[in-house]
Amino acid sequence: MTPGDDTETARERRSGTGAGVRNPRARQRAVAIGVVRGTPGEDVELDELSELLRTAGVATESRMVQQRAEPDPDRYFGRGKLDELKVEIKRSGANLVACDDELAPRQERNLEGALGVPVIDRTAVILDIFADHAHSAAGKLQVELAQLEYNLARMRGLWTHLERLGAGRMDGGIGTRGPGESQIETDRRLARDRISALRRELRHVERSRETMRAERERSAIPTVALAGYTNAGKSTLLNAITGAGVGVGDRLFHTLDPTTRSFEHGGRRYLLTDTVGFIRKLPHQLVDAFKATLEETTLADLIVHVVDGSEPPAAREAAMRAVDSVLEEIGAGETPRILAYNKLDLLDPEGRRDLLVGERHAVGVSAATGEGIEGLLDAIEAAFAATLEPVELLIPYDEGAILNELHEVAGEVEREDREDGVLVRARVPRDLSHRFSAYSVGGRSAA
């Protein structure tokens, strides 16, 4: 027996599902429900919920939407619709209901009482996916913190969570109930202790990241962040540009940890960062827990907003709005931006034209085929060039480090050796010119 087989058997034993069944949640079959506030028939929302459920290993058996101004505050659906839902659960053989909105604890309790099957909400599904995809120590801490905060707000029994910590996934999947209410007070205390411990650990992790970031800033290399909806192709694009070999997958939230690599274009070096994808109604617990990760985007000099250009217009625009609002929320609303429509290879000529018409600040690319990538790099170069400022400096011979730094930020440098030092003319990013102001000569101010 190979070691691989052994692991598999161990996992099956843990999950208690017997031979052959790898994912205990594959047996979970959901009715996806949602309230549509706008025009009826627009079930973009449930498409995405289904996709999230698929990523979490849950099959969507059936869907049900109700059109109303706001969800019912007690039961999410109205009474009549709830009766329909009961019938639909029976008919479809579903054993789970998944709701497209985050449910108030009261709504969740009432729904479960009325329906007799576990009810999970969008936030729980997203948290579950994050938990599955977290690999780094920091990522795991961040997800655990977000889950605990979500569970604490629901006074939900935490034994599932704590057991998962010690022994992997022993739970029967998302939506599994904990023990009786009597346990809850103890659980809450445990949860609060654990939350404090997690926050402490995360602060520690953040400090070491800050050191790394500070080093990067000192190196003065222009930084570009890839931001965009989950599954837009950010990691594929990072790989195409830098040859990074970052993991790519056709599932939501494949990437959780930021990766930074460098590339050269037009004689200048840049840093490119790929990080966690965004989604509509991104759970606030995750925004909070992933603050440090999201900050990678905030600190960039330029953001490339990667959009899946092969999506239908309504879904694409909803995705773009979601990205805009998350960028705003994390304080990156003002950072200069380039729009990159990806997956051009999936579009016919007409589709391409429709996508790019009237979009002066957008580029079309295919991370998969490499098409348009030079154009994107030119656009990045141009965005930085717009902020370049000419400087004329006299750098003494014993200040070689300054000269090196200048070469890094300026790319091409014109130099003339003189008795008292090197006279250089170059164009440097405006934000960085103050670093060289002490050496400025010839009436041109570098400050």
Ligand X SMILES: Nc1nc2c(ncn2[C@@H]2O[C@H](COP(=O)(O)OP(=O)(O)OP(=O)(O)O)[C@@H](O)[C@H]2O)c(=O)[nH]1
Q: Does residue 232 touch ligand X according to CB under 6 A?
A: yes
C-alpha span between 427 and 406 (Å, rounded): 9
| Site residue total, ligand X (CB under 6 A) | 23
d(CA 339, CA 304): 6
Q: Which one of residues 160, 223, 255, 259 is an interface residue with Mg ion (CB under 5 A)? A: 255
> Rounded to 5, what percent of the chain is helix, strand, coil?
50, 20, 30
- Of the pair 115, 344, the CB lying nearest ligand X is at 344
CB 130 within 8 A of CB 257: no
**Under a CB-based contact definition with an 8 Å cutoff, are residues 365 and 379 in contact?**
no
Total of chain residues touching Mg ion, rule CB under 5 A:
3
Q: Give yes or no for a contact between 329 and 297, defined as CB atoms under 8 angstroms apart.
A: no
**Choosing among Mg ion, ligand X, none, which partner's interface includes residue 233 (Cβ < 5 to 8 Å by kind)?**
ligand X
Q: What does 285 bind: Mg ion, ligand X, none (CB cut-off 5 to 8 Å by kind)? A: none
CA triple 287-292-297, angle to 5 deg = 85
Binding residue for ligand X, selected from 160, 236, 297, 433, defined by CB under 6 A: 236
Exposure string (b/e) for 157-192, b if CB count within 10 Å is 16 or more? bbbbbbebeeeebebbbbbbebeeeeebeebeebbe
Q: Whole-angstrom Cα distance, residue 371 to residue 229? A: 21
* Contact range with ligand X by CB under 6 A, out of 29-37, 40-48, 103-111, 227-235: 227-235
Does 133 sit near Mg ion (CB under 5 A)?
Answer: no
**Looking at the chain, how many residues does it have?**
447
Tell me the window of 13-21, 142-150, 213-221, 364-372 that interacts with ligand X (CB under 6 A).
364-372
Applying CB under 6 A, the span of 72-80, 171-179, 202-210, 226-234 interacting with ligand X comes to 226-234
CB nearer to ligand X: pick between 178 and 233: 233
- Residue 249 contact partner, candidates Mg ion, ligand X, none, CB within 5 to 8 A by sort of partner: ligand X
β-sheet bridge partners, residue 62: 31
Comparing CA positions, the residue from 233, 405, 389, 394 lying closest to residue 319 is 233
Nearer to ligand X, 367 or 432 (CB): 367
* 262-321: contacts with ligand X (CB under 6 A): 277
Identify the residue among 161, 254, 280, 427 touching ligand X (CB under 6 A): 254
| 329-348 residues near ligand X, rule: CB under 6 A | 342-343, 345-346
DSSP per-residue letters across 395-440? E-TT-HHHHHHHHHHHSSEEEEEETTEEEEEEEEEGGGGGGGGGGB
417's contact among Mg ion, ligand X, none, with CB below 5 to 8 A by partner kind, is none
Q: How far apart are CA 50 and CA 70, in angstroms?
A: 22
Q: Phi and psi for 337 in degrees, rounded to 5?
A: -135, 145
33 part of the interface to ligand X, by CB under 6 A? no
Residue 259: partners with Cβ closer than 8 Å, 6 or more residues away: 235, 238, 244, 246, 273, 274, 275
Helix crossing, 44-55 with 313-329: angle to 10°? Answer: 70
Decide if residue 400 touches ligand X (CB under 6 A). no
**Closest distance to ligand X from the beta carbon of 354 (Å):** 17
- Applying CB under 5 A, does 235 fall inside the site for Mg ion? yes
36, 152, 248, 315: residue in contact with ligand X (rule CB under 6 A): 248
Residue nearest to Mg ion (CB): 255
Site string for ligand X, 127-166 (x = CB under 6 A): ----------------------------------------
**Site residues, ligand X (CB under 6 A):** 228, 230-236, 248-250, 252-255, 277, 342-343, 345-346, 366-368
Q: Which residues bind Mg ion (CB under 5 A)?
A: 235, 254-255
